[in-house]
Amino acid sequence: MTSASRQHSRGVSLLEVMATMAVMLLGVAAAMTVVSQTSKANRRTLTANQAQLIAERTLESIQARGCTPAPSACANIAGLDGNREVFYQTAAGDLLRQPPSAPGAIARQYEVAVDVDAEFLASSLEGGAAGVGEPAVNRDLTSTGLKGNVANVRVSVSWEEPEREGRQVVVLQTRMAP
């Protein structure tokens, strides 16, 4: 065997092994960062979707009540203005009005706020009488010329998110008329 052939058959040096390990370690660290960030984004999206479902459910229950024409338009939902409720959504998907009592149960707290703006609730209109919105809530909707027959109903669902500043919120809104 010649010295040239002996030189080609030698093993991998310690320096080469360490360089390979360093490159692999960087690749694994990058992959772990991507997985972690994706997981956080998925959690935020799930939380926002749950909040939207709670808002939809609340708004649908208000719409199911309807908007009565007398004594004043939509007076039956006027009592909902300023209403606030707290719900807890568990990891199992249960929506509770109280924190779960099971030990170790995980639940996110959501606050649901209802805002009803209508001409018959003058104090509810942002900006007073001038703030009737566009189109105005006091416009004619019926052939009888009855004014003030529209209510703007807004449902806000908010929650606190770890690692984010302030409360996060989802808002749904509709206008109701008799």
pLDDT by position in tens, the chain (length 178): 555 555 565 778 889 999 999 999 999 999 999 999 998 888 888 889 999 999 999 999 999 988 887 777 677 888 888 889 999 988 877 888 888 888 888 888 999 999 887 765 555 555 555 555 666 666 665 555 555 567 788 999 999 988 888 899 999 998 887 7
> How many distinct structural domains can be found in the chain?
1
Report, in angstroms and rounded to the nearest whole number, the Rg of the chain calculated over CA atoms.
Answer: 30
The structure tokens listed for 116 are 């009803």
In tens, the pLDDT along 81-103 reads 888 999 998 887 788 888 888 88
Q: Which pLDDT belongs to residue 27?
A: 95
Q: Which pLDDT belongs to residue 129?
A: 54
Q: Which domain holds residue 19?
A: 3-176
- Burial pattern 7-41, b for ≥16 Cβ within 10 A else e, equals eeeeeeeeeeeeeeeeeeeeeeeeeeeeeeeeeee
pTM: 0.70
